[in-house]
Amino acid sequence: DYLELPEPELFELLHLHRRKIVQWFETAQGSYADFNAALRAVHRQFAMMETKLEEDVEVDVNGFYWGVLGDGVAGRYALVGTETKKTPRRVPIVSREDAEYWVEVDVQLLQVIIRGQHVQPLEAHMSEDRDVSTLLHVDPAKAATMQSAVILNLEAVQLRELVSRPFRLQRWMEFTGLPVIPDLYDRYYDLEDLEDEEEWVGALFEPVRRAFFVAPTCGDKDYAFYMSAEAAQAEATVAMLIGVHPKAPGQVYKEVVLFKHHRC
């Protein structure tokens, strides 16, 4: 539809010139500039189709550089990353197992493959962000049409890779609450109750506790700390304590890790 050319005629044209196109790309690998110029032109075309931009809007893909997929099949090339001053001016060879590249162009099949879970328009909470529109020099309405590869979806963070620009966008979720204290930490920390084998725990932690976690330095009440039975083992060299905020009982507010041999 974009070329206003029937698909059968398009693929017939490709079939007639496929070998010459692949041979040109294979020969162009000797020239970093020519090789990348050709693939950047391809990238620019499919990026404009994906982002549904007007014809007079230029998509800047000059920040990317490409490499050869070294799987023994000619005509397969991958977007390696963002070009910097330290990027070697030679065409690299990458493998399918490499996590570095995320866009693949197969000249043999006239196919573009974008790695990631799937491709989708940039979500509103990212496209409408002022930093995004300022950095990309686009208004929020245009940013909302930009396609992105879904790289990561976790509870605390989302990661998107833009198809048309050399940028990755991260969105960190708002902190919603404290985790519950694990059952393992069932001993209340008290300097007088420590076993002989645990004296080093008190020697390391007590100065810190008195300096930062005792009222009135930390508020109206002292922080409570809990430890596990494993700290009492004679061979233990690492101890971990859980700190509880006076206003958030039963929840982890601080984690303290002590190293016996490092004295910290």
DSSP labels, the chain: --S---HHHHHHHHHHHHHHHHHHHHHHTT-HHHHHHHHHHHHHHHHHHHHT--TTPPP--TTEEEEEE-SS-TTEEEEEEE--TTS-SS--EE-TT-SS--EEEETTTTEEEE-SS-EEEPPHHHHT-HHHHHHHT--HHHHTT-EEEEEEE-SSEEEEEESSSS-EEEEEPPP--PPBPPTT--EE--GGG--GGGHHHHHHHHHHHHHHSSTTTTSSSPPEEEE-GGGGSTT--EEEEEEE-TTSTTB--EEEEEETTTT-
State the pLDDT at residue 110. 75
State the pLDDT at residue 169. 87
* pTM of structure: 0.43
State the pLDDT at residue 116. 57
State the pLDDT at residue 99. 47
Q: pLDDT digit string (tens) for 189-209? A: 999 888 888 889 999 999 999
The end-to-end CA distance of the chain, in Å, is 66
Q: Which two tokens stand for residue 196?
A: 């002989």
State the pLDDT at residue 156. 79
State the pLDDT at residue 223. 94
State the pLDDT at residue 52. 47
Q: pLDDT digit string (tens) for 219-245? A: 889 999 999 876 667 778 888 899 999
pLDDT in tens, the chain (264 residues): 456 777 777 778 878 888 888 888 888 888 888 888 888 888 877 766 544 444 444 566 777 888 888 767 788 888 887 777 778 788 888 776 654 556 788 888 777 776 655 667 788 888 888 888 888 777 777 766 777 877 777 777 888 888 777 788 888 887 767 888 888 888 899 998 888 888 899 999 999 999 999 998 888 899 999 998 766 677 788 888 999 999 888 889 999 999 988 888
State the pLDDT at residue 256. 92
Could you count the other beta carbons within 10 Å of the beta carbon of residue 190?
10
State the pLDDT at residue 118. 60
